Amino acid sequence: MAFANQERQKVGARELEWSDALADAARYHSCRMMALNFLDHIDPEFGELAQRLRVAGLDTSNVGENIFKAKAGDPARHAVDLWMKSPYHREVLLDPSYRWTGVGFAVAADGKYWFTQDFSGANPLPGLAPNQPPKKNASSEESSHAETQRNRRRLGSPPNSHSQRLRALAFNASPPASGYFSYTALPPTIVVAT
């Protein structure tokens, strides 16, 4: 997100604000692209961006998306650099009507990254604050988990459960030796393959 905001600042567009809900949707799309081995804005089962966000209960009145797949280097920097060279992706990234964003990625055992960055001009969670401030004395992780659980209840989804193995993988600098991992607030809540 920082690289995207740096590019937006260069053209006078306002900084994007983080949305956990958009990040969850982006992460889920990245996981699906990795698991099904496709790179496209249209999921073969769940459709295009607005359809996917609508199913998640998010506002779809003004949305955009950039996707990327890479294996080496700094994938976030590489993604933004390539998006800036593509007229369509550049337009999405710099669109001044977008206010909110979320980035999600999945990492395969072979080191490939699938990135998705979703954008919205409207609050993605109508009627709710897109990001509630952390509770006093609560860690960022606990606060994020609590917000995810509230959103899942609102959408009628089952609660997430913690996985110590998944948490260890998420905080490890290198991908696992086999399989892949991801965590998302949209079904399925945890994807683990070994």
Beta bridge partners of 107: 113, 181
- pLDDT above 70 (res 107): yes
Q: Kindly report, residue by residue over 117-174, the tens digit of the pLDDT.
A: 999 998 877 655 444 433 334 444 455 556 666 665 666 655 655 444 444 444 443 3
Neighbours of 176 (CB within 10 A): 17
For residues 86 and 81, give the distance between their C-alpha atoms in angstroms, rounded to a whole number: 9
Q: Which residues contact 95 (CB under 8 A, 6 or more apart)?
A: 13, 64, 119, 121
What is the mean pLDDT of the segment spanning 16-37? 91
For residues 130 and 99, give the distance between their C-alpha atoms in angstroms, rounded to a whole number: 11
Q: What is the pLDDT of residue 41?
A: 93
- Token duo for residue 185: 């607030």
| pLDDT band at 182; cut points 50, 70, 90 | very low
DSSP state of 104: E
Q: What is the pLDDT of residue 112?
A: 87
Percent of the chain with pLDDT over 70: 64
| pLDDT band at 187; cut points 50, 70, 90 | very low
Q: What is the pLDDT of residue 192?
A: 40
Q: Is the dihedral of CA 100, 120, 75, 4 positive or negative?
A: negative
Residue holding tokens 């260069």? 10
What is the mean pLDDT of the segment spanning 13-39? 91
What long-range pairs does 35-42 form, CB within 8 A, spacing at least 24?
35/106, 35/180, 35/191, 35/193, 39/67, 39/69, 39/114, 40/67, 41/65, 41/67
For 108-188, strand residue ranges (E) read 113-120, 180-183
For residues 80 and 68, give the distance between their C-alpha atoms in angstroms, rounded to a whole number: 9
- Nearest CA-CA partner of 88 in 61, 67, 62: 67
